[in-house]
Amino acid sequence: MTTPHPQQGAFPLFRFKGIQVSLHWSWLLVALWQIQRNRETYDLVAFAVFEYLALFAMVLLHEFGHAFASRSVGGRAENILLWPFGGIAYINAPRRPGAFLWSIAAGPLVNVALVPVLWLLLHYGLPESAGPDTVTFVYVLFQINLVLLIFNLLPIYPMDGGQILQALLWYRLGYPKALLIATGIGLVGGVALIALALIYLESVYSALLAGFLLLNCWKAFQASRAMLAEAGPVDPLQAP
């Protein structure tokens, strides 16, 4: 299981500023399953659907953060894919630590910006007539945004936190060595995440997500070793 090609098995949703947003077919299956799980939170099933759509809207804003930040430093960004494990912005940032750091950090910064927006909406933005489902919905959005922010900042490569760590190390150590250290830490974190998902959360979905991260971390770890050994080719960047 590796990161899918942006158009393979996916259908185009819309284009915005030259960025094609696509949806992977498997998203629909997981959406049905997740909506089923969210049903108990609300009186009306429609709110469970809204919640899942809102989750992906927030993920999409996060990915646009990566894409526009990458462009702002001279990089390329033409595709965003939404799939059951979140979103992927396919970016090609210039090979400089500063440009790379900004391209990665901009994603979580979108979630940081959403914290006060959702907080104000929750406390002052809802009309008096808002029903319990509406209040719960906005409250859940606030929570989801926080979870997305914290989860993305975990220093587990290729999560944003792991890539931010890599960018910071890159300033002093160069690209391959920074990648080696970041992915080394990521491998330990990835294994811990799988254990946490299986033992603590008892969530197969979370374990699969952690397994996907671990596999990609392992591939990047091997790539960094190959680069250090023979200064081999460098893969394009992908920001989750």
- For 111-143, give one letter per residue: b (16+ CB within 10 A) or e: beebeeebeeeeeeeeeeeeeeebeebbebbbe
Taking residue 89's Cβ as centre, other Cβ atoms within 10 Å add up to 30
CB of 145 to Zn ion, least distance (A): 13
User: How many residues form the binding site for Zn ion (CB under 5 A)?
Assistant: 3
Residue 51 touching Zn ion (CB under 5 A): no
**Piece in contact with Zn ion (CB under 5 A), picked from 37-45, 67-75, 105-113, 229-237:** 105-113
CB of 160 to Zn ion, least distance (A): 4
> What type of residue sits at position 143?
Q
**Piece in contact with Zn ion (CB under 5 A), picked from 41-49, 68-76, 104-112, 193-201:** 104-112
User: Using an 8 Å Cβ cutoff, are 146 and 115 in contact?
Assistant: yes
Nearer to Zn ion, 140 or 159 (CB): 159
Q: What are phi and psi of 159, to 5 degrees?
A: -60, 160
Extract the tokens encoding 186. 């990521």
CA distance linking residue 39 with residue 125, whole number of Å:
25
CB of 80 to Zn ion, least distance (A): 11
Residue 176 touching Zn ion (CB under 5 A): no
Nearer to Zn ion, 38 or 238 (CB): 238
Residue 186 touching Zn ion (CB under 5 A): no
**Piece in contact with Zn ion (CB under 5 A), picked from 4-12, 186-194, 195-203, 232-240:** 232-240
What's the angle, vertex CA 206, arms to CA 204 and CA 208, rounded to 5? 70
Residue 86 touching Zn ion (CB under 5 A): no
CB of 212 to Zn ion, least distance (A): 15
Extract the tokens encoding 55. 């989750």
Q: Give residues 151-170 in contact with Zn ion (rule: CB under 5 A).
A: 160
Residue 91 touching Zn ion (CB under 5 A): no
Nearer to Zn ion, 97 or 107 (CB): 107
CB of 112 to Zn ion, least distance (A): 12
Ordered strands of the 76-83 beta sheet: 10-16, 19-24, 76-83, 86-92, 238-239
DSSP-assigned letter for residue 75:
-
CB of 119 to Zn ion, least distance (A): 22
Residue 107 touching Zn ion (CB under 5 A): yes
CB of 239 to Zn ion, least distance (A): 5
- In 3D space, the residue among 90, 100, 212 whose CA is nearest the CA of residue 164 turns out to be 100
Owner of token pair 């799980």: 37
Binding site for Zn ion (CB under 5 A): 107, 160, 239
